[in-house]
Amino acid sequence: MKSLLRIIPQKFRAATVGVIFTALVRALLNFAGLAVLLPVLIMVLDSQRIHSNRLLVTLYNWGGFSSDQQFIVATCVAVIAFIAIKQGANLLLQRFQRQYTINLYKYFSIKVFRNYHDRGLAFLKRQNTALLSRNVNFICYNIVMGVIAPMISITSEILLLGLLLGALMWYNWQMALLAVAAFIPLSWIYIVILRGKLRQYGQIENEARRQQARAVIETFRGYTDIEVNNAFATMQNRFEQSLDTIAQIKRRTDIIGAVPSIITEMSVALAMVVLILFSTATSRPDTSILFGIFAVAAIRILPSVRSIMAQWWQIRYNYYCVDIVSEGLDDADNILHNEAIERINFNSAIEVRNMSFRFDDADKGQWTLRNLNLTIRKGEKVGIQGTSGAGKTTLFNLLLGFLSPTEGEILIDGHPLDNKIRRSWQTSIGYVSQHVYIEDSTLAGNIALGIDPDKIDRERLQDAIRRARLEELINQLSQGADTPIGECGSRLSGGQRQRIGIARALYKQADILFFDEATSSLDNRTEQEINNAIEQLSREQNTLTIVVIAHRSSSLEYCDRIIEI
């Protein structure tokens, strides 16, 4: 409970109190629904009690009934009407509880998603994206529907159980003691034995499902390499092993899930036998009434105890989700994504001063970049060369604001590139990588990335298409720029992807363009075409700053100067 209260946000605290209150109200309503059956039970077992039972006599006189039959019919109608009203009220309360859990799921999922994003490139490079995706989607849903919702249900059932036992204690303490003795010991044994196992089973299943999803994603993502190397059998074997683990866990948990029903039914049967033997031994005249009242109480105690055990089982099985979501929510309340981002106008220069960088998991003396100083002025065309592993891409990620220097600083027009201006700086730059990101949408949607289709500026789109030399591709597409281009751009060539990346930067009207090995995977002819397109851009817009990483010197011929890393 402490762990759950710690991760529930402040703005949900009032609603949480409301949900607890609804659990109490539901318990009272269910208790009342059971209590109103008692007059009917008494009349069925002994109709003479209509005139001897104080409550029934009061109701009889208050209603002004002229016959027992009229009173019995009126009582039954009133009971049915009350139960119908109670069920309607229960539905409304359940709806409130359901809305609370849905809103909480949305909060957790959005916050964890944003928090993973805001932890930056270094964090994402260390993680498995399939695992992060599962945490954002399934785990956030599971903590709400598999832990918090059952906790609410248990609260209501425990309150109802307390009311029932209290009422039995008031009517006959021996009957109440019998009910406690019948249900508590077996239920407690069940909880003690399975407490650790259920949490362990939940963790095992979660890991198996993660491996299952990973096998599917990697198979489809690396289809060509897997086929050429005849590796599908291995991937299928991994998938089947995960399925076997999940099936084994499900077999065990199905058996565990069936135990509460067995325990509760055995408890009721034993209690009934004990009550009959007790009544026979004492020769009490009100045996039928005692037996009937206990039977009515047991009818509601039975599902209540069964529900508590089943919900507890579900909580223990899914409790691993609490730790995952708790970790994913760290610092999430500080995330602001809906504020307007003011764009920085790049006017002067990028300065790198005594900058050094090493990754968090690197050895203390293992630097990727060390004591780097350089200046890139507005309007310059700068090339960056170096051997593989020299830190060229890391330098780009630092200049783009994806990473922060371990030592030294980066200045944009004299202002430190820190978290205060990072997002504003990124709105001013265009980035074209070796593997241009292509989303599963239209060509226009990929060029105007992040903009709703109905808000795309068509004139700016056409200008970006022209300057990136994409007209030939547009003419080949059945719906022009509004043609879907397949998942990950499966219908595009390497050169066309790079041109889309350039068009994206142009549509954005970026002040500075970064090209990270943008032509290294292309053939010579396509590479030359892309280089010509970039050179043409620099001539058309002489204030445009271009920074290029390339292995081949031919890709840097249009640059004003080349920096060797």
How far is residue 293's CA from residue 286's CA, in Å, rounded to a whole number? 11
Q: What does the domain layout of the chain look like in residue ranges?
A: 2-333, 349-564
Q: What is the DSSP letter of 401?
A: T
Rounded-to-integer distance, Cα 468 and Cα 495, Å: 11
pLDDT exceeds cutoff 70 at 124: yes
2-333 and 349-564: identical CATH topology: no
Mean pLDDT of the 484-507 span: 78
Predicted confidence band of residue 195 (pLDDT cuts 50, 70, 90): low
Sign of CA dihedral 418, 420, 424, 426: positive
Encoded tokens for 429:
């730059």
Pick the CATH number of 349-564 from 3.40.390.10, 2.60.40.10, 3.30.300.130, 3.40.50.300: 3.40.50.300
Q: Which residues contact 30 (CB under 8 A, 6 or more apart)?
A: 86, 90, 156, 160, 300
Residue 10 has what DSSP assignment?
G
Fold category of 2-333 in CATH:
ABC transporter transmembrane region fold (1.20.1560)
For 141, phi then psi, to 5°, come to: -70, -40
pTM of the model: 0.71
The span from the CA of 83 to the CA of 485, in Å, is 59
Per residue in 505-524, pLDDT (tens digit) is 888 888 888 888 766 656 67
DSSP annotation of 433 reads -
Which tens digit of pLDDT belongs to each residue from 418-461? Answer: 888 888 888 888 888 877 888 878 888 888 888 888 888 888 88
Residues in contact with 144: Cβ distance below 8 Å, sequence separation at least 6, in sequence order:
101, 102, 104, 105, 108
**Residue 388 pLDDT class (50, 70, 90 cuts):** confident
Mean pLDDT score, 236-253: 86
pLDDT of residue 289: 58
Q: Which amino acid is at 468?
A: A
pLDDT average, residue stretch 383-398? 84
Please give the Cα distance from 310 to 231 (Å, whole number): 43
Q: Up-side HSE of residue 555: CA atoms within 13 Å toward CB? A: 24
Q: Please, which pLDDT band fits residue 272 given cuts at 50, 70 and 90?
A: low
CA dihedral 201, 204, 206, 211 (to 10 degrees): -160
Q: What is the pLDDT of residues 60-73, one digit of tens each?
A: 778 777 777 777 78
Q: Which range is most confident: 12-26, 280-294, 400-414?
A: 400-414
Q: Which helix (H) or strand (E) holds 213?
A: helix 173-221
In the prediction, which pLDDT does 410 show? 92
Mean pLDDT of 34-48: 69
367, pLDDT greater than 50: yes
Q: Which helix (H) or strand (E) holds 274?
A: helix 232-282
Q: What is the pLDDT of residue 290?
A: 62
